[in-house]
Amino acid sequence: MNLDVTSLVDTFPEASKLSQPLVQKRLRYFVWIMAAATLFLMALGSATRVMNAGLSCPDWPLCYGQLLPQQQMNLQVFLEWFHRLIASSMGFLAIALFGVSWWQRQQLPRWLPGASSLVLGLVVFQGILGGLTVTELLRFDIVTAHLGTGLLFFVTLVAIAASLTPYQGMGTVGKLPWISLSAAALVYLQSLLGGLVASQWALHQCLNASQLCQIMNSHILGVVPASLAILFLGVSVWRTPALHPLLRTLANLVSLLLLSQITLGVATFRLHLQVEPLTVAHQFVGAALLGTLTVFSVMALRDMTPDCDESLLSQEP
C-alpha cells in the first residue's frame, strides 16, 4: 500500500494554487516513484528472507559469477537475483536525484541538494550492508541493520517528496507534529525489533526450543507503546478543530494501517510464520504505516507555520 499524497493534495483547492517550477514538479513525482519502488523492494527483500533465498546467490555482487545465472535459475535464485537488480536500480536513481538536485539547484529549494546527498549516502551504505549480508552468511546484526537502513532510506524519500508537495497549511495543528513524530519513532523501533525476530528466527526458536523468547516477547510488547501513540494521535486529530482535510485523511489511513498490521501480526504468530504471504504483508504494511506517519509529520510541521511554508519550496536567491 503506497499513499499517493500528490493526488490527495490536488483535491484541495488551496493547495492547487501553489505554483512550482517545472523541474521541481517533475522531481517531486520522481521522488514519489522512488519511494514506491523502495516499498516494493522491502517487500521483495522480505519474500527473499521467508523463502530462505538470502544465500541463493553465494557470491556478491554477481550471482554465480554472472549477471544472469540462467543455468542455476529457480524460484529462490530468482528472488535473490531480482532483489539485487531492483536494489541496484535504486542506486542509479539515487545518483540521478543527486545529480539533478545539484545541477538544477538554482530552481529548487535550498535544502534539496543536501537531502539528495543524504539519500545517496544511505543507498551506498545500504549496498555495503547488502553485500555483507551475503559474505557474512546472513549474520543477524547485519541483516537487522540492512532493514533499518532500508527503512531510513524509505522515510527520507517520503519526507523529501512530502516536502516538495504543494500544501497550504491552516496553522491549527498544535502539538500534532510532535505526537506524530513520536509515533513514527516508536514504529521504527518496533520494526527493528521485528527485524531482530526475523533475522534470528526467534519465533521458531522460542516455540520449538524455548530459546530467544526474550527477543520475541520484546517485539510483542513493543506493539503496546506504538499502538497507544497512534491511538493518541487519532484522538488528538479528532479533537482538533479546523484541521486541514489532508491531515484528517492521513490520520484515518494511519488508523486503518495500524488495525491491519495488528491483524497480520496476530495471524503470523498463530500460524507460526507458515504462510509466507502473510509474513511479507506484515512487513509491507509496517513500512507503509511508517511512511504514512512520516507524511503526516512533514505536513503537520509545515502546517505549524503556514506563512513561512513558502520558503520551504522557494528557490535560491
* Angle value at C-alpha 254, between 245 and 283, nearest 5 degrees: 150
* Residue 16 reports pLDDT greater than 90: no
Confidence of residue 2 (pLDDT cuts 50, 70, 90): low
Q: Which residue pairs from 159-163 have beta carbons closer than 8 angstroms and sit at least 24 positions apart in sequence?
A: 159/115, 159/294, 159/298, 160/31, 160/112, 160/115, 160/116, 160/119, 161/5, 161/28, 161/31, 161/32, 161/35, 162/5, 162/294, 162/295, 162/298, 162/299, 163/109, 163/111, 163/298, 163/302, 163/312, 163/313
Number of H helices and E strands in the chain, helices first, is 13, 0
Whole-number average pLDDT of the chain: 91
User: DSSP label at 12?
Assistant: S
* Residue 9 reports pLDDT greater than 60: no
Distance of CA 166 to the CA centre of its chain: 21
Mean pLDDT of 166-186: 94
pLDDT tens for 230-280 read 999 999 999 999 999 999 999 999 999 999 999 999 999 998 888 899 999
So what's the pLDDT on residue 79?
Answer: 96
So what's the pLDDT on residue 272?
Answer: 84
* Residue 317 reports pLDDT greater than 50: no
Q: Name residues whose C-beta falls within 8 Å of residue 14's C-beta, 6 or more positions apart in sequence.
A: 168
